[in-house]
Amino acid sequence: MKKPRGLFISGNWKMNHGPKATEAFFEKLGSLNTQNSKPKISPHLRAALFTPSVSLNAALTAANKYTPFVEIGSQNTHFEEKGAFTGEISGPMLKELGIAITLVGHSERRQHFGETDETSKKRTHSLLNQGFSVLLCIGETRSEREKGETQNVLTRQLTAVLEGFKPDPKKLTIAYEPVWAIGTGLTATPEQAEEAHQTVRKLIWDLCGMETSAATSVLYGGSVTTQNLKALLTCPNIDGALVGGASVTPESFSELISISYASLT
């Protein structure tokens, strides 16, 4: 299958795995990945795991030892570089650890921690300016979809971040994650996902131009599993996945990498 932007498989552990479990995860992932003589990695396949902040250091050390092809990222990073923001972590702190990628605007951050389109914009702009790669999450709720507002919501969320801004498509990746599909087992069908991804790509075109649109990876997220990933990856505008529940065990994440690898050949 031809994937012009390659594939990006990423896992969001959410609030799972402290440092000890993190080290065990990577040790197992490393052994699973080298089981066959054929490596399951390719220059066209990017892999990343977003771990809890307290496990970032353990993840970096263990990934370096067992699975150097897996990037380690932060689930949340503040837009200010320092200051009175209790409980937050900043870009410079993460850089010091060796972290180069972060999620922004995950729907659980929007739902439970008061993040908005405005804070997503501030975080995205600040972190890209600081040299980070950003995986920006957008997506509609169930009631917004039922009211036929999906396109409006995606337009609002992307316009807030991209209007008047020219991101480097190598640094900014979009994750389309319909909120009704996250953690529910209700994956969007490949048709539903592809339709939304086409909308996202068209919006990037309108806001940032054709070249940026064509070069930007758009990942699907929401109940992705080893059962449904292959079909999702056949869609021309789906460039990979952001996976929650199925990224938490090394067996399942390794299988997701294998499926992505096989989809490229």
The residues that touch ligand PGA, with contacts defined as CB under 6 A, are: 12, 177, 182-183, 221-224, 242-246
Q: Which is nearer to ligand PGA, 186 or 214 (CB)?
A: 186
The nearest distance, CB 2 to ligand PGA, in angstroms, is 26
Which residue out of 17, 78, 106, 197 is catalytically annotated? 106
Place of tokens 């389109």: 117
Number of Cβ within 10 Å of residue 119's Cβ equals 18
- Find the shortest distance in angstroms from Cβ 191 to ligand PGA: 19
Known catalytic residue: 125? no
Shortest distance (Å) from residue 100 CB to ligand PGA: 20
Residue 78 DSSP label: B
Q: Which of 108, 140, 144, 177 is catalytic?
A: 177
- Indicate left, alpha or beta for 117 from its phi (over 0: left) and psi (-120 to 50: alpha): alpha
Residues 6+ apart with CB under 8 A from 11: 48, 49, 50, 242, 243, 244, 246, 247, 248, 253, 256
Report which residue's Cβ sits closest to ligand PGA.
Answer: 244
Residue placing its CB nearer to ligand PGA in the complex, 66 or 217:
217
Is 106 catalytic? The answer is yes
Between residues 101 and 207, which has the closer beta carbon with respect to ligand PGA?
101
Q: Please give the Cα distance from 125 to 80 (Å, whole number).
A: 11
Please say whether the beta carbons of 204 and 158 come within 8 A.
yes
Hey, which residues are catalytic here?
A: 106, 177
